[in-house]
Chains A and B, each alone.
Chain A
Amino acid sequence: MNELVWVGLAGLLTALATGLGALPFAFVRRIGARGIGLAHALAAGLMLGASFGLLAEGSAHGLVQTVVGGAIGAAAIVLSHRLLGEHGHGFAGLQGEHGRRAALLVLVMTAHSFAEGVAVGVAFGGGQKLAVMITLAIAVHNVPEGLAISAVMRPRGASLAACAGWSVVSSLPQPVLALPAFVAVEQARALLPYGLGFAGGAMVYMVLFELLPEAYETLAPRRVGAVISASLGAMILLQHYL
């Protein structure tokens, strides 16, 4: 019971961290394309670090189950992109093309958060070390993702509060999904490697499909490589010495 509260708090913390991404816009009206590229690369590196932890822990519980879970996770993201297609009109006081673009981004980011919620939940099933590492990784990487959302909304006239609010909303699936994911792997331990694999596979796929192409659009490959190597290395060290 007590642990459930921790899982919920961890999910809430990661969601709230997304709102911090709006903070820079209290000082500046817009952030350059390279800044956004950098934010995507940083988010990608932290997500890869979290995936490394999830997949390594999963393969310790069952290699084949982890890979099967990973394939299901990646397939779930492919499916969610299919289903999302292009929807949404007038959004957060923004009309027409502007509103549609912002709505689509928040929608994509919300779908993106589902797997991260599962990650937080199953990480708690995998032990305290993994739980702290994954919660931290996802909370920190949510900041640049909130920045990306705000960067689309703010120059189009959304208020600072709307930017922060919608950023948090995009991450609400994290607390919502973390709890059932945790309960599932606690009740049926055999599910743990599948769950860890699912979260890891889904996140790797999202990095490859969403974040990295955005990063390469505005940053030279060597910069993307440097940001990802450094953030991934930091995550691995954090997990190893926690």
Chain B
Amino acid sequence: MVGVEQPVSVVLAVTVLAAGAAALAALPAAFGRRVPALALGLGYALSTGLMLGLGFLLMQRALERTGGLLAVAAALFAALYTAWTHRYTGGDALDPLEPEAISAIEGYRLMIAHGLHAASEGVALGAAMALDLQLGIALALAMAVQNVCEGLGLASVLAARGVRGLDVAILVVFSDAPQALLAVAVFAVLPEWPGALGGVLGFGAGALLFLTLTETLPAAYRGGGRAATAAVVSAAAGALILLQAVVH
């Protein structure tokens, strides 16, 4: 396939594109439009489904390759780590569907939470790419979609705080940058340390599950209602799992 002689630069390009796609989330704010709660909720549902599908795939591969104990321990560690970061960022207590209710300081905390969320996704993406580059590139596409969906929530909070057009785009992409950085780092380092693959895959799966349960899924239910959320989440997860069949 293309660029196999320079896989790290391919990974860098793809993940930077995926993070950069989040800039699209600034468009409604640029035109002075407010994204309705229903649309935000459905965006979070789509994002949840893609993350859960990816988590399923990572956990399945982790169990195939290594002892279940390492994979599950790493997943539980990821959940604990995420819960710990939520203590400092406010995490699940902040509601991006009600942007006006979020103060300036909470806005910063939400951005940090968003950055940490993206960082964990970067670990998951990097591990998927190390496992199977072609599949990983397809997954980066899914990651781009969910970056736009989640970026809409952050952008609406920023817009409600009076941040304008291009600045919204820059801040949203900036808080997704850890995703690209960690994906590249994990992809570059893993081949040197193959014993860690199962653990890193497990970490990615656990982080994705916990992030959906504490951040994106509650927001999806609040904005989209339970029927639409259940439908969108299961369809998106199914589509992501099908990606494997399309790629190979």
Tell me the A residues contacting B by CB distance below 8 Å. Answer: 52, 55-56, 59, 63-64, 67, 70-71, 74, 78, 201, 204-205, 208-209, 212-213, 216, 220-222, 224-226, 228-230, 232-233, 236-237, 240-241
Q: How far is the CB of A50 from chain B (nearest CB, A)?
A: 13
**A212-B221, A221-B218, A225-B214 are known contacts; what are 10 more A-B pairs with Cβ within 8 Å?**
A63-B244, A63-B245, A70-B238, A71-B238, A208-B230, A209-B226, A222-B83, A236-B59, A236-B68, A241-B68
| Interface SS, A side | helix
Please name 27 pairs of A and B residues whose Cβ atoms are closer than 8 Å in the assembled complex, sorted by A. A52-B56, A63-B245, A67-B245, A201-B234, A204-B237, A208-B230, A208-B233, A221-B92, A221-B213, A221-B217, A222-B86, A222-B91, A222-B214, A224-B214, A225-B79, A225-B83, A225-B214, A228-B213, A229-B75, A229-B76, A229-B206, A229-B210, A229-B213, A230-B76, A233-B76, A236-B71, A236-B72
Residues of B near A213 (CB, < 8 A) are 221, 226
B146 within 8 A of A: no
A226 and B242 contact, CB distance less than 8 A: no
Tell me the B residues contacting A by CB distance below 8 Å. Answer: 56, 59-60, 63, 68-69, 71-72, 75-76, 79, 83, 86, 91-92, 206, 209-210, 213-215, 217-218, 221, 226-227, 229-231, 233-235, 237-238, 241-242, 244-245
Residues of B near A201 (CB, < 8 A) are 234, 238
The answer to whether residues A233 and B60 also contact, given A63-B245, A201-B238, A209-B226 and a CB cut-off of 8 A, is: no
> Which 5 A-B residue pairs are closest in the complex by CB-CB distance?
A240-B68, A208-B230, A225-B213, A209-B230, A221-B92
Residues of A near B231 (CB, < 8 A) are 74, 78
Closest to B222 in A: A216
Closest to A207 in B: B230
Residues of A near B209 (CB, < 8 A) are 225, 228-229, 232
| Interface SS, B side | helix
Q: How far is the CB of B214 from chain A (nearest CB, A)?
A: 4
A52 and B59 contact, CB distance less than 8 A: yes
How many angstroms between the C-alpha atoms of A56 and B75 in the bound complex? 17
Closest to A71 in B: B238
B227 and A209 contact, CB distance less than 8 A: yes
Q: How far is the CB of B132 from chain A (nearest CB, A)?
A: 14
Residues of A near B215 (CB, < 8 A) are 221
Closest to B213 in A: A225
Residues of B near A220 (CB, < 8 A) are 92
How many angstroms between the C-alpha atoms of A232 and B214 in the bound complex? 15
A67 and B238 contact, CB distance less than 8 A: yes
A222 and B92 contact, CB distance less than 8 A: yes
Closest to B226 in A: A213
Closest to B91 in A: A222
How many angstroms between the C-alpha atoms of A212 and B214 in the bound complex? 12
Closest to B217 in A: A212
Q: How far is the CB of A70 from chain B (nearest CB, A)?
A: 6
How many angstroms between the C-alpha atoms of A241 and B63 in the bound complex? 11
